[in-house]
Amino acid sequence: VTATTNAPPDTRRSHGDSGAPPGKRRSLGDLKVAMIFIAPATLGFVVFYIWPTLRGAYLSFTEYSLLSAPKFNGLANYDRMIHDSFFWNALGVTVEYVVINIGLQTVLAVGIAMLMYRLTKSITVRAIILAPYLVANVVVALVWYWMLDVQVGIVNTFLGWVGIDPIAFFGDSHWAIPTVAGINVWRHMGYTALLVFAGLQTIPSYVYEAAEVDGSTEWKTFWRITLPLLRPVLVMVLVVTMIGSFQIFDTVAVTTQGGPINATRVIYYYIYERAFTRFDFGYASAMALVLFAILAVVSLVQLRLLRARESDLA
Amino acid sequence: MSSSSRSVRQVSVGRTVAWVLLFILLIVTLFPFYWMLRTAFSDNTQLPGHPNSLLPVETTLGAFKRVLGLSSIEEAQAQGGSGAAVNFWLYLRNSLVVATITTVCQVFFSAMAAYAFARLRWPGRDKVFAVFLAALMVPPIFTTLPNFVLIKNLGLLNSFAGIILPGAFMTPFAIFFLRQFFLGINRELEEAAMIDGAGHRRIFFGMIIPLSAAPIATLAILTYINSWNDYFWPLLVGQQENVRVLTVALGVFRSQTPQGGPDWAGLMAATLIAALPMIILFLAFAKRITNSIGFSGIK
């Protein structure tokens, strides 16, 4: 059946917008051909997305060490999670990371987008700003790991020139999370700025012209006009970047590996450790499900905010 | 001073400050790339003595030779390497294999599905599409754990198939991205082809794909970069040397580096090897990639 080169005649006739025969044959449309076209994608989708999603949910109610079949244990994993101080620490560390990362990144991205919007449309400038985003997390993490080294890192040399003592960016538990967050701000701010930049270009120029006629200053125009009109784009950008930010793993895995003393044991890393060094798959799945729920709530809240804003755009 | 001349000067002062900020931003963006280059060409034993030399310290290709497995253990250790055997040629090959196969399969199968969602009419089409899109919400780690179990049970740990399979068929984003473009293609062209007796296979290969060459190329480039840069999944299923990709190899290399005197030059040479293909790809397609961001980012 799959070898048909040409579509069967009835499919062909019912395809166009006009002249489709009414009745049952119309309602099936191109179903046969469509099945062939979506077959590979559907196979991948069911095997590597749907099935693992269901299986992951099931595993979260089991004790599973990979060696023997999963053993159903009800809510035991969730009960354990509530009393697991490492879990709460991981959650707290992750939230601290997300707040610093997203806060800094969003402010900088809006600033960079404004700079580009007001100064230059140069594709070269935009390309340079995007460049860090195209290099692997692991590469970025290692380059900064070297530049921020406490003994021979160039950043501490710079700090020395302005009279600041060397900082153990990765070794000091107060600095570790802000450092990891900062590294990823460096990688993502250009990308985020380009998203905001695209949003800025959708604001019609007559709005600015009107503001200018009214004698509005640049500063006032930004706060009263640009930012409110940018809100829908900003909320979308926040949803996308924040979901990504909660999944911080690579940078931690190649630099601090959770240390010093749990200071950077983010939730993704903790789940990874539980699953792949302790083979505690049931518990790891339960934590992954909780992370899933947190992300869903965060995105829903943000999307609500987006909808609320749409009204004051009109 | 009249108010108008004052405002002119304010504007130009503001613009000057803005240009300076933009310039600083470009330096902050580019400096780490330069520093990677500068360190990679340095002699590791000499680095601590010249932490702020802007040029490579005792310029040498030793670090590259070391990480490509081209220098003897004595040579490597003389220049501050650990002497452990590393072979970034092999990891480079593995990354090429994984990223190329993933990209070709994923983009092709996603294009097929996007065609069915954009150009064909069948009952339940939009509902099925919505289910595909909903998968964007599921965080990767949630599906990764059961996927690891599956790949392990299939006996595909430490094989290219194990690394490639989960990404080979589709991603919700790829289907969404291509569907958007396919929707925009003129229906009349398609109908004319139909009247000439062309089937869906001919329309897909002979019309839709050539007409969408630009967005398909953009998607392929983005997919290639993502696949090349992926760390988490290959870390789980591809630890062994014969399938170890560059990102995983970098992590291993870094953890092998002794705490006392790390082989910074070797590490930066290795990161440069891992980053270079992406930098070249970017230089070749900078405009296309940069222009795609406004669209692809808002998923």
For residue range B27-59, list pLDDT tens digits in order: 999 999 999 999 999 888 888 888 778 888 888
Contacts of B232 (CB under 8 A, 6+ apart): A249, A250, A272, B140, B141, B144
CA B191 to the chain's CA centroid: 38
What residue of B is the nearest CA neighbor of A218?
B11
Token pair of B79, please?
């220049």
Residues of B in contact with A51 (CB under 8 A): 146, 150
pLDDT, tens digit, for every residue of A257-313? 888 989 999 999 999 999 999 999 999 999 999 999 999 898 888 878 766 555 444
Give me Rg for the CA atoms of chain B.
25
pLDDT, tens digit, for every residue of A108-130? 999 999 999 888 888 899 999 99
| Pairing state between β A62-63 and A71-72 | antiparallel
pTM: 0.87
Is ipTM strictly over 0.90? no
Token pair of B151, please?
């790949």
Amino acid letter, A306: L
* The pLDDT of residue A23: 45
SS3 string, A85-128, reads HHHHHHHHHHHHHHHHHHHHHHHHHHHHHHHHHHHCCCHHHHHH
Contact B67, B276 (CB under 8 A): no
Contact A197, A113 (CB under 8 A): yes
Distance, in Å, from the CA atom of A284 to the CA atom of A275, rounded to the nearest integer, reads 6
Distance, in Å, from the CA atom of A173 to the CA atom of A242, rounded to the nearest integer, reads 23
Distance, in Å, from the CA atom of A17 to the CA atom of A9, rounded to the nearest integer, reads 16
The residues pairing with A285 across neighbouring beta strands, listed in sequence order, are: none
For chain A, say whether B237 makes contact (Cβ under 8 Å).
no
Q: Say whether the peptide bond before residue B215 is cis (omega within 30 degrees of 0).
A: no
Which among A62, A64, A68, A139 is the top mutation candidate for probing chain B, defined by the most B β-carbons within 10 Å of its own β-carbon?
A139
CA atoms within 13 A on the CB side of B281: 19
pLDDT, tens digit, for every residue of B242-290? 999 999 999 998 888 766 678 888 899 999 999 999 989 888 888 888 8
Residues of A in contact with B112 (CB under 8 A): 37-38, 40-41
Contacts of B152 (CB under 8 A, 6+ apart): A66
